[in-house]
Amino acid sequence: MVTDLKTIIFGLLITFKTGYGQDFGYDGNTGPDFWGLKYQGCNGGKLQSPIDIELNNVTEKEFPPLVFQHFDEPLETVKLENNGHTALLSIKQGKIPNVRGGPLNETYNFSQLHFHWGRTDDEGSENLVNNQSFPLELHMVLYNTKYGNFSNALYYDDGLTVLSFLYHKTIKQNQHYQKFERELPAVENLNATVDIIGFVSLDNFTTTDRNEYFTYKGSLTTPPCSEVVTWLEFINTIPLSHEQIQEFRFLSGARGKLNHNFRPAQARNDRSVYMNIPTLSSTASSSNDRSSSKLNAHSKNGRSSSGDLRSNCGVFVLLMFKYFYYIVN
């Protein structure tokens, strides 16, 4: 009895400390439609995430360049865990990467990254582009350093930023994911954890072609759905093979296999969604990046031939071309 009580109190403390709700799922009476019964924040807010980003409804804007620190250095020791809702990766030892610039007024420190996927490769991403799903979405969660840590930052409008990356399916395996994929089966069971020593850099795990992105004000996509997130949704996607995507679907949650874990798109309401229009100088510097996606080549060709980067028409044609490319590949 004493042990049980201790367990309950400890559980409550953890929930309180992290600010994360734990009793939710993606099906039936614990699914997204029911989150609001227990977590008021998920219900009726005006800034909920994810959303469908409609290309004919974005506002072009030139933001200052994003500055990434320690993204290019291999991560010393990371902890991979199955928290029942996703595979979550945090840094156990080593330098903490951070980001500033763009739409962000402060510096944001890395807290964790995790994934959202679907039952098949035709679904899985949380944010959509022109109602188009992608097979996987990575959320890198960072907290505003002026609030000291993730838990405190949850209480402020500018508390968090999520750097969000979409994936596209390729025939070839992504070599940078080999170590990660090798360890993923070790966290197949609920609450399992594994330490990985000598992990790839965040640059290699995502993409360095980060000049083009959408940004909007939104929320956590899981309870308590706090509306404290500046979202950055990068236009260039990460390549991953079907076999590599498939590995995520073997994870177990509290109610069996966690074969899908994406929240449906929420109402945009009267929010503005911006698309960063990179300056010519920042575009030129990106040509040195080591991105693995061959979409970049198309993107650069498209730009050099279109000439005027700020032309609405040119940008939309470029985007439509990119998303058509994703769909057929």
* Footprint of Zn ion (CB under 5 A): 139
Q: What angle do CA 125, 126, 128 make, to 5 degrees?
A: 80
Give whichever of 139 and 168 is closer to Zn ion, judged by the CB atom: 139
CB of 50 to Zn ion, least distance (A): 9
CB of 291 to Zn ion, least distance (A): 23
CB of 317 to Zn ion, least distance (A): 31
CB of 296 to Zn ion, least distance (A): 25
What residue is closest to Zn ion based on CB?
Answer: 139
Q: Among this protein's residues, is 85 annotated catalytic?
A: yes
Give whichever of 137 and 212 is closer to Zn ion, judged by the CB atom: 137
Give whichever of 261 and 299 is closer to Zn ion, judged by the CB atom: 261
CB of 310 to Zn ion, least distance (A): 32
Give whichever of 139 and 169 is closer to Zn ion, judged by the CB atom: 139
CB of 116 to Zn ion, least distance (A): 6
Three state DSSP letters for the chain: CHHHHHHHHHHHHHHHHHCCCCCCCCCHHHCHHHHHHHCHHHCCCCCCCCCEECHHHEEEECCCCEEEECCCCCEEEEEEEECCCCEEEEEEECCCCEEEECCEEEEEEEEEEEEEECCCCCCCCCCEECCECCCEEEEEEEEEHHHCCHHHHCCCCCCEEEEEEEEEEECCCCHHHHHHHHHHHHHCCCCCEEEEEEECCHHHHCCCCCCCEEEEEECCCCCCCCCCEEEEEECCCEEEEHHHHHHHHHCEECCEECCCCCCCCCCCCCCCEEEECCCHHHHHHHCCCCCCCCHHHHHHHHHHHHCCCCCHHHHHHHHHHHHHHHHHC
Do the Cβ atoms of 174 and 164 come closer than 8 Å?
no
Give whichever of 50 and 103 is closer to Zn ion, judged by the CB atom: 50
Annotated active-site residue in 85, 116, 139, 168: 85
- d(CA 39, CA 93) in angstroms, rounded, equals 33
- d(CA 274, CA 198) in angstroms, rounded, equals 37
Give whichever of 51 and 318 is closer to Zn ion, judged by the CB atom: 51
Q: Which residues are catalytic?
A: 85
